[in-house]
Structure 1
């Protein structure tokens, strides 16, 4: 870090956070953006530290400018918006705020605020009245407040940084139009002033020099990328109207920008171990539970493509006393944040998530990613798998493949250049009978719970309507008592079963010392 000539306040925060050395993307981007004042387009695998690769240059430049004003006995009276960071999802925006930039800015007076959907606009307007120097937001909510004339967001004359994080996702349908509208509000670049000494470049008026930084994990640039940046917007072909190069140009990326491409040919992280378990759809629950109980170390994320499958799976895992929390797009923002807090607080917790958690989220200690259902694209598989093996640590990605997913699996292997397929995950079949007993009982309880819930809802509906019509109906309390008794019995049976560790076939409690087993890694 000392070689990057960072401000003492930043070095102190980095030391406390335990970031002893910069990652390759940080080493490449920080000097160009923080000290040379250059635009940067950066690409690196997930978990490589891209957030601080743009976060540190922002903080460094703001601190440098503040220190220069202090040396001149000149104190800025206003607090304009200096950096606008746009991310595709609210989870990513909140993580960029809470876990990274705000943590590194701990020993400074630089304010950072999140502007995302799912939180009341009144609350976010109150945050903006504090005039934060850095705003991190999603395109929809940012444009909503900008178009309503929110003063701190539309007074952009002093903006020094415009950042696009996960830029490739920004060009997907639903984001691009709002993003273009935001970009059109930014002040146009002045002269590039390349004749000035790079050390002085950071002190240029923000009106004359705004830096644009574009980052992604799956960034692919055409060979003539810099030439395309010189094209005028109107000269674009229709096929290029939603391209990454067009987005970079509209965002104001200079044709002299530093291009840092550290993406690996392997696509996924080097220390990621990928494997596959081939089974039927009915067997997936058992193999998932087997992996969690026999091989589970640290936090695990289980990915589903459908919310219905996610809800069912989370309910079954909770019945099996596995600390599992669901995360999907239909949850309210408050529920999502509570789920993430609980998952982070648990050293061996399980997050059952849709692809809303696949991109950008950096949760320490995630050792395993399990694809309960295969994603619809190889790119999403890469992003899912990127939740582990981050920051040069090892991790494991396991795909559960049913016969109906075979063709999708083969397509995935071709896209990842793995013609021979993924390595088979080692299964100790001696545990499976014990696993299947627990799963079968948990499924039976889940079925009874759902049936009971439906009956109660139907009964409530009848009672409510009968009351309105002044009709007396016969209650069947005996049936309800029988169901409750059956449920209670099954739950007690499962609870008793879960008190004991998983047993290998042939295991005898009478001669326990004579059996050598390893239950956990």
Structure 2
């Protein structure tokens, strides 16, 4: 299979791909699509984040759906709401010219009543998080007796999030004649429990690249710093990459919120997402990030699964990841679809040994960056302080007119250039003590 037009996928899917000038398949697509178009057994596909796994299973899956029969024939299980929404949109796009084929995405955090209504009209493919799908199966809203395909997308994350019990309850209602397709960017040993439990029928495997290896287009960088310098150094690099979309990963929800307030105070255009935010607000922030109305996204690891945004130039690992899988998925938010990008990890001295383990397991080479000099950090602070002044709102009625005029009288005799120079000099003197 040299290109999509020469494949045997549905002609209407080819038409949708051609409309977006998507012609040359990625390696995982080349090796997977011909197999899944005819294979009736189980399947495992592994490939790095951002290499096109959704189309690798989505094109053959939709090609094999019988849209004349109004029953659920395929379920795609995903670990997060963001990934559920992303995969759902991709499948709807692929089926754009197959109007009778109906795909629905269901996940928690949105109206159950609305989702029940959406599922009432002969849905063929359900993309779902396990918890919400289990709820709808138990309510007898979704019936899986006619299931032909089950896709586990990001299977490792579903295991780590403890979804196995929910998956068991879901699949207990299905006829085991369905085929199971498992896809992931990483294949840690723990995933073997899913493989042994759910995949046993004429199993075929396609493994692209080394296991758990981040995309080749990523420049891996590292900076060691004391805790008190962390924010200033981040601000330094955010200014350096101000023309790029960036994602900053924090370990905790509270860390995300704290950093969001700090960036907002420094007049950076940013948004935050984590598990405690209502789904509507998470969607709004993601829409703003995709559209470019905010340049920086701050997120917990929940967002490293399912944030598929074009042209993310740099990923900041503000808090060091706990595992090699977490590093792979975080860094994989940049360098997508053959592009290049930067993954910059911040570590404290006591974290060096832990990172060395991740580095060895992933066979990575980090470029060690020097801490910005005191002078560079001071200059950056001054520029950001000037930006805060420029973007600050007028004080309004906080001061009476006489006081406001008295303050202005102290500065009125200065030219604009003199005023700017004196502001800068005053700031630098106060910063230097």
Query: What band does the TM-score fall into relative to the shorter chain?
Result: 0.7 to 0.9
Q: Which residue of the partner structure matches residue 436 of structure 1?
A: 381
Superposition pairs of residues 344-383 of structure 1, within 5 angstroms: 344-346=290-292, 349-383=295-329
Distance 1:86 1:49 in 2: 17
Question: 3-state SS of the aligned residue for 1:46?
Answer: coil
Distance 2:201 2:378 in 1: 63
Distance 2:153 2:318 in 1: 28
Structure 1 residues 43-99: Cα deviation after superposition (integer angstroms, max 9, x where no partner) = 11111111111111111112xx55xxxxxxxxx4x511111111111111111012x
Q: Which residue of the partner structure matches residue 493 of structure 1?
A: none
18, 27, 32: which is aligned to 2:30? 27
Aligned: 1:187 with 2:178: no
Distance 1:337 1:256 in 2: 40
Question: 3-state SS of the aligned residue for 1:318?
Answer: helix
Distance 1:15 1:298, change over 3 A: farther
Distance 1:172 1:295 in 2: 33
Q: Is the 8 A contact 1:305 1:355 kept in 2?
A: yes
Aligned: 1:106 with 2:93: no
Q: Which residue of the partner structure matches residue 126 of structure 1?
A: 117
Deviation of residue 4 (structure 1)? Answer: 1.5
Question: 3-state SS of the aligned residue for 1:363?
Answer: coil
Bigger radius of gyration: 1
Q: How many residues align?
A: 394
Structure 1 residues 139-164: Cα deviation after superposition (integer angstroms, max 9, x where no partner) = 111111111221xx12x232221111
Structure 1 residues 406-451: Cα deviation after superposition (integer angstroms, max 9, x where no partner) = 3433333333335xx62123676464222133568999xxxxxxxx
Structure 1 residues 292-344: Cα deviation after superposition (integer angstroms, max 9, x where no partner) = 22234431000111222222221222233321001111101111111100110
Distance 1:161 1:122 in 2: 26
Distance 1:158 1:307, change over 3 A: closer
Deviation of residue 184 (structure 1)? Answer: 1.6
Deviation of residue 132 (structure 1)? Answer: 1.5
Question: 3-state SS of the aligned residue for 1:185?
Answer: coil
Deviation of residue 38 (structure 1)? Answer: 4.2
Q: Is the 8 A contact 1:297 1:348 kept in 2?
A: no
With the length of structure 2 as denominator, give the TM-score of the two structures.
Answer: 0.83
Q: Which residue of the partner structure matches residue 76 of structure 2?
A: 85
With the length of structure 1 as denominator, give the TM-score of the two structures.
Answer: 0.70
Gapped regions of structure 1 (runs ≥ 5): 67-75, 190-209, 222-242, 444-479, 490-495, 506-521
Q: Which residue of the partner structure matches residue 462 of structure 1?
A: none
Q: Is the 8 A contact 2:145 2:173 kept in 1?
A: no
Distance 2:113 2:23 in 1: 40
| Alpha-carbon RMSD | 2.9
Q: Is the 8 A contact 1:301 1:366 kept in 2?
A: yes
Distance 2:353 2:387 in 1: 31
Aligned: 1:13 with 2:16: yes
Distance 2:347 2:384 in 1: 19
Q: Is the 8 A contact 1:30 1:57 kept in 2?
A: yes
402, 420, 424: which is aligned to 2:368? 424
Q: Is the 8 A contact 1:304 1:354 kept in 2?
A: yes
Distance 1:297 1:266, change over 3 A: farther
Superposition pairs of residues 99-248 of structure 1, within 5 angstroms: 100-109=90-99, 110-150=101-141, 153-154=142-143, 156-172=144-160, 174-189=162-177, 210-220=178-188, 243-248=190-195
Aligned: 1:59 with 2:62: yes
Gapped regions of structure 2 (runs ≥ 5): 389-397, 408-415, 426-433
Q: Which residue of the partner structure matches residue 428 of structure 2?
A: none
Q: Is the 8 A contact 1:218 1:263 kept in 2?
A: no
